[in-house]
Amino acid sequence: MSTAQATSSRLLRTGDEYLRSLRDGRQVFIDGERVKDVTAHPAFREAARSIARLYDIAADPANRELMTFASPKTGAPVLRAYQIPKTHADLKARRLFHEKWAEATFGLMGRTPDHVAGFFCGYAGAPEIFAGGGQKFADNVVKFYERMRDEHLYVSYAIVPPQIDRSKPAHKQSDPALYAGVVKERDDGIVISGAQQLATGGPLSDWLQLACIHPLQPGDENYANAVCVPIDAPGLKLYPRRPFALGARNSFDNPLSSRFDESDAYVVFDNVFVPWENVFIYRNPEISRDQWWKTPSHLLGNHQAQCRYVTKLRFMVGLAQRMNEMTGNVAAPPVQVMMGELAALVSIYEALLHSHEATATIVNGVLWPHRTTLYSAMAMQSELNGRMLEMIRELAGGAFITLPSSLADLESPQTAPDMERYMRSASTDAKGRVALMRLMWDFIGSEFGSRHQQYEKFYGGASFLVKMNVNRYFDWKRATGLVDQALKLPAVEN
């Protein structure tokens, strides 16, 4: 694989370098055929360019302080997404980085390179957890983190077992190589076979992390691994869901699906060899569990996810406000009440994000975002995201539907006069109105928009699991202490 290995470690990676590096031997399949070049294929081309723009933003000398810090190893500027936070200022600097990138995609690409970067910062910030399996594993994970950081690597991940038969543990499936696990140990490494879900951004990334966040049972040791493999590793196959970009007619009619369809890929390992240096956990269910909860990895990765989500929420209410202005409803009191409720929900998410930072605590020299606040935001996202979208649908009435069939209606001499006369709005001409409504439909109602609702519900796992995390970490002692105090109040005279 070429990737950023070709890039001098003194230089930041540019968008062009990133795009060139994707032209390798990766096996990505669409409609039964292997994609020759993801940077040229209409299913992935524009999403790849959107990621390339992120690298250009980070490499822009005008953004040097905002987007980079000096690599502790080489002194060269590297992305702040790889900065292990030691202070509250460091964590804020990470947020500003994430927000800058999220704004460039309107929060519509969830697994940009800064997502898994957060997980590896968390691993490298607590290597002793990996050392539980042998010091070499701790050394491997730290070295890989440094490599990601210094070579500006984009790593995607697949950390959930497939839904083939959830009534049985991995080792009791009909074929032991159905779920991704180790099938052979060699002197120089291990061989992995089986499937894992769901590598968002996989076809656009440099490397894939395979790990397991689901609880494993005794007997599941072969599935309790954490490794990284280059996307073009022999035997690694990516099967993305149907790409929405392929259904986009043009960037006017499908402004978001044409640009930001990051892809979600089912991953198949067909005897993929992984050298020991890229193995971080090997046949160890306990460490496989602890990598998420006894390191700040899950917190730092999901801190990025919340920075991205809050940016998307701002975009969402901005769309609703522009729609109300356009229809002339912006001053109507019932509309103002609904917009106030939407703004309140967005403000709650903004406040929770700031709270993860403000109440973050230092553990062994590394700042961990506050668990209860972060997991509370994620736990309720599953319900509140849908509620917010429903409110916008309520505000819209038929606005998304009373639209011409395509841009061609606005341009054809036969139809343009009617379009110009009847499709205009109180605040814009016909083209401006239709452009805004197309944007909103792609956000809410198109297949791209619908996938986003599923993403917000499940990107961090099913909400019952996230709620169990809140239950685990909430300060029950303080809450029940109040109850005990009330029960001990001295009697008063009636």
Residues making contact with ligand FAD (CB under 6 A): 111, 157-160, 163, 166, 197-200, 264, 451, 454-455, 458-459, 461-462, 464
Strand 279-281 relative to strand 226-230: parallel, antiparallel, unpaired? antiparallel
Burial 294-320 (b: 16+ CB within 10 A, else e): bbbbbbbbbbbbbbbbbbbbbbbbebb
* Nearer CB in complex with ligand FAD: 203/296: 203
* Nearer CB in complex with ligand FAD: 165/390: 165
* Nearer CB in complex with ligand FAD: 202/255: 202
User: Which tokens hold the place of 97?
Assistant: 């980085």
> From the CB of 409, what's the least distance to ligand FAD, in Å?
33
> From the CB of 381, what's the least distance to ligand FAD, in Å?
12
User: Which tokens hold the place of 130?
Assistant: 């990996």
> From the CB of 308, what's the least distance to ligand FAD, in Å?
13
- As a whole number of angstroms, the distance between CA 459 and CA 468 comes to 16
* Nearer CB in complex with ligand FAD: 162/369: 162
- As a whole number of angstroms, the distance between CA 103 and CA 117 comes to 18
> From the CB of 423, what's the least distance to ligand FAD, in Å?
34
Closest CA to 83 of 66, 71, 74: 71
Closest CA to 374 of 355, 389, 393, 392: 355
- As a whole number of angstroms, the distance between CA 315 and CA 442 comes to 13
Residue identified by tokens 């490494």 is: 189
First to last CA, the chain: 82
* Nearer CB in complex with ligand FAD: 458/476: 458
* Nearer CB in complex with ligand FAD: 255/460: 460
| Segments of 114-245 assigned E as strands | 155-158, 181-186, 189-200, 207-210, 226-230, 236-240
Residues paired with 351 in a beta bridge:
none
Strand 207-210 relative to strand 155-158: parallel, antiparallel, unpaired? parallel
> From the CB of 17, what's the least distance to ligand FAD, in Å?
24
Q: 116, 209 in Cβ contact below 8 A?
A: yes
* Nearer CB in complex with ligand FAD: 427/453: 453
* Nearer CB in complex with ligand FAD: 121/199: 199
* Nearer CB in complex with ligand FAD: 228/436: 228
> From the CB of 454, what's the least distance to ligand FAD, in Å?
4
- As a whole number of angstroms, the distance between CA 390 and CA 396 comes to 10
> Shortest Cβ contact with ligand FAD: which residue?
200
> From the CB of 451, what's the least distance to ligand FAD, in Å?
6
- Geometric angle at alpha carbon 215, from 214 and 218, rounded to 5°: 135
- Geometric angle at alpha carbon 119, from 187 and 107, rounded to 5°: 135
- As a whole number of angstroms, the distance between CA 205 and CA 109 comes to 13
> From the CB of 479, what's the least distance to ligand FAD, in Å?
25
Residue identified by tokens 């390798």 is: 24
> From the CB of 211, what's the least distance to ligand FAD, in Å?
8
* Nearer CB in complex with ligand FAD: 166/477: 166
> From the CB of 179, what's the least distance to ligand FAD, in Å?
12
